Amino acid sequence: MTVRRFALCLLPCFAIVAGCGDRIIDGQAAGERSVQGAEDLLAMPLTAAERTMMLEDLGESRAAYLDLRAHLVENAVAPAVRFDPLMGLDARALAATLDRGPSVWSEPAAVARPADLESLAWAPIGELSALVRTRQVSCVELAELFLDRLRRHDPQLHCVVTLTTERALARARELDAMLDRDQWLGPLHGIPYGAKDLLAVAGYPTTWGAVPYRDQVIDQTATVVTKLDAAGAVLVAKLTLGALAWGDVWFGGITRNPWNIEQGSSGSSAGAASATAAGLVPFAIGTETWGSIVSPSTRCGVTGLRPTYGRVSRAGAMALSWSMDKIGPIARSVEDCAVVFDAIRGADPADASTVGLPFSYRPGFDPAAVRVGYLQEAFGEGGPDSALCAAALEELRGLGVDLIPVNFDLATLGIDPYSLSFILSAEAGAAFQELVLSGRDDLLVRQERNAWPNVFRAAQFIPAVEYIQANRQRTLLMQMMADLFTRVDVYVTPSFGGAGLLVTNLTGHPQVVVPNGFTAENAPHSLSFVGRLHDEATVLALAKFYQDATGWHLRRPPGF
């Protein structure tokens, strides 16, 4: 979830009437009063005759709801309807525009084994990869280095749920043996990483950060982990998340920000950002529904990629919102994110939302060849961090980028994106209805209005009709974004400027968040780049162009 509390729509569906139980069935007068109460909440007045006419239908609906509740399915089962951000566009034509050949990675400078291996905690993936490939550092040594750092610093940061020590060392030994046979799997061969603990890994707990699931073991390994296994990456830890993917509070406490350990790391990819920022892993896998990669990356001063919806399989991941959940990498540089994304992207039969479109990353960026916009309305908001945002625009202009002003056309559309945010609530309420009906929602640590237990309960009263109407307005948002991207190829925005974070999560567009300075309180700040659907290559190239020129990502939190 995002740091900004979304506007929850507490509209009751006719389930609220059915929920009045036998009053509808046993007495017409009591039933009519129940309907009348629902009318008031729905702002939908009925006549007495209309009210009486629907009582039998509402009773039948109630029976249907109870039948469904008697056969609740597990979290992993997706609805029969699915979100398509492309809105039926020709995928083949899109693929042709995206395919510029295989991805190309920057060549690292000449590398040599350092006298103190601890210094490798801050090395980029390219440098670590070169050391492994040239056999100057073994895969086992890297795994042991990062496992040791996780053990030493987790008591301070609370970013680890489970160390996967046995799995990591066994895999590292296999990878070293492969190198002995001149078998190299690619740039992630032997590179340790951490995964947000909503990704299933066979043989290990998958706790979702929540008390009701702290002993849960899922006999499955998430597709994203399987893909990283195949690429040679080494899973060293399952990292914390805010309980059921909201915030930085989980059953083990609050995950801390390495730049200020008195502060939480934000969430919900709390442990992924915290561990990466502190040099406990070279990269981590996070997820985002509404800010869960962007927010902790911002607070912890790291780089995050939220890919296009459907780019990365969610099979084996906890479902929160089937039409908004996305999986992506958190690392210390843009190109590190690109390397990881290349390994985890692609179609997966186990996730019907996924597509297999090309990704042709190039480290070079030609400002004259790409139309770059800036979200004018977001930069004009002012506020204490506006100077950092303004400075970022001037830096881009100084690098030869001709910035084109763009704005969202929300007023013309008559849409307030926050009025659509209950789409997330409705889907999350369905994903965790069993938790509410069983009463186990009371076990979650946070019991307040702006927390999942209350949202899950309130979501049971969102009308199906209003959910559909919200998704119809969502279509208009998607058309608005499609029009915007006829004028630019990518745009830059403050990460939390205006409604952009919510809009782009609703429309499924990719976003790269990078550090762009520090506030007066010496807290990291970020800038974001948003691109066309499935064109992560362009967004990443521009973000790297800016990042290399500014160097903010090279800062390290003291004490780690």
pTM of the predicted model as reported, rounded to 2 decimal places: 0.94
Rounded CA separation 493/527 (Å): 6
What's residue 27's pLDDT? 60
Residue 443 per-residue DSSP state: G
163 φ, ψ (degrees, to nearest 5):
-80, 135
> 12-26, 60-74, 516-530: which range is least confident on average?
12-26
Reported confidence tier of residue 33, pLDDT bands at 50, 70, 90:
confident
What's residue 21's pLDDT? 41
pLDDT tens-digit readout, 368-417: 999 999 999 999 777 768 899 999 999 999 999 999 999 999 999 999 99
Number of H helices, E strands in the chain: 21, 15
Among residues 187, 224, 230, 229, the alpha carbon closest in space to that of 346 is found at: 224
Rounded CA separation 173/166 (Å): 11
Q: For residue 13, is pLDDT > 50?
A: no
Q: Could you count the other beta carbons within 10 Å of the beta carbon of residue 37?
A: 14
Residues 6+ apart with CB under 8 A from 125: 187, 188, 191, 282, 283, 331, 335, 336, 339, 340
Among residues 485, 155, 515, 204, the alpha carbon closest in space to that of 334 is found at: 515
What's residue 87's pLDDT? 85
Catalytic residue numbers read 196, 268, 292
Among residues 4, 33, 2, 3, the alpha carbon closest in space to that of 16 is found at: 33
330 φ, ψ (degrees, to nearest 5):
-120, 125
Reported confidence tier of residue 8, pLDDT bands at 50, 70, 90:
very low
For residue 328, how many C-alpha atoms fall within 13 Å in the half-sphere facing its CB?
Answer: 36
The predicted model gives 149-176 an average pLDDT of: 98
- Please name every residue paired with 328 in a beta bridge, in sequence order, or none if there are none: 286
Cβ pair 241, 194 in contact under 8 A: no
Amino acid residing at 551: G
> 42-56, 226-240, 372-386, 453-467: which range is least confident on average?
372-386
Among residues 230, 191, 183, 269, the alpha carbon closest in space to that of 3 is found at: 269
Alpha-carbon torsion (77, 79, 84, 88), positive or negative = positive
Q: How high is the mean pLDDT of the chain?
A: 93
Q: For residue 17, is pLDDT > 50?
A: no
Q: For residue 422, is pLDDT > 80?
A: yes
Strands 511-518 and 524-531: antiparallel
